[in-house]
Amino acid sequence: MNPARREPLLWLQLLGLAALPLEALLLLLVLAGADPGPLPGFERVLAWALGALAPAVLFWRLPPDLWSLLLLQVPLRGRRPEQLRLSALQTALPLKLLAASGAALLLPLVWLMDAKAGLAWAWSPLSASPRLVVLLVSLPLLALMQWHWHQLMQTLWLFTRPAAEVEQTLPLTQAQAADDRLNLGLPLLLLPPLELAAPAPQPEPTTKPEPEPEPSAEPVAVESEKPAEETTPEPIESAAEAVPEDTIEEADSGDLVVDAGVAVTPEETAEEHESPKLDSKVAESDGLTS
């Protein structure tokens, strides 16, 4: 991780994003306190040169110290090696050009605000003031805007540096930090570094085998089978009971065979069994006579 992101003072420097619009609004109210003079263009350029260009030249030679909030700063003896290493990165040429571009942006801003300042005359704290007083009050506002612009650009630049570049940079000594940086403010700030916890790696999802269903310990109710109803066979009447006595006597004499399983009525049995016997006797008598 980039060590710059662990410094709480650098996060406080980002408040310049909110401070710059408020300072621009206050500059508009200040310039609205007096009417433009006979040479408004010259007055605007002069105010910009003294309030923005001069501080930009100073900041090129002595960059604003990263650990300074203009009124308070971190004491030199209390700075950690990581802080001194980050201060050594302030001399990069792209960073210095980016910070100096704020002065070029302030010139059209001053020109436009001074031209439209009459619209805010009723709310100006310096209404009915001389033009010279209005221009002198606008100078520190322009310098303050230039300071916040430099601190904002330096902080964003350090936040985007790779961690390897920061670790390979040699830290400044306390003497170099005192001579080569613009240290403003009382040395009363001692803020501990932020402890930024790294995000924990998410565990890989593992598919667990589905547990087999355990056999239930409850007894299974078994329906008792009802015993099949015993069918008592109906008593079969014997042949002697089914056949009348007369038929039985005739059958004994004529060798009549009666099936025990067939019930024969008395009349039918006598006629059927007598007819073949009589026919045979008639045939025998005819043969004897002939």
Give the mean pLDDT of the chain: 78
Provide the pLDDT for residue 184.
92
pLDDT digits (tens, 9 = 90+) for 50-96: 999 999 999 999 999 999 999 999 999 989 999 999 999 998 999 99
Contact 259, 265 (CB under 8 A): no
Provide, rounded to the nearest whole percent, the portion of the chain with pLDDT above 70: 67
What Cα–Cα distance (Å) separates residue 271 from each residue in 49, 106, 201, 256?
161, 151, 114, 12
Summarised one tens digit per residue, pLDDT across range 140-155 is 999 999 999 999 999 9
Q: Is the pLDDT of residue 218 over 70?
A: no
Confidence category of residue 262, pLDDT binned at 50, 70, 90: very low
Whole-angstrom Cα distance, residue 169 to residue 65? 17
Residue-wise pLDDT tens digits, 175-186: 999 999 999 999
Residue 130 has pLDDT above 50, yes or no: yes
User: What torsion do the CA atoms of 92, 98, 101, 105 make, to the nearest 10 degrees?
Assistant: -160
Residue 146 and residue 59: Cα distance in Å, rounded?
A: 9
Residues 150, 106 contacting (CB under 8 angstroms): no
Contact status, residue 21 vs residue 148, Cβ threshold 8 Å: no
Residue 73's H or E segment, with its range, is strand 72-73
What Rg, from alpha-carbon coordinates, does the chain have?
63
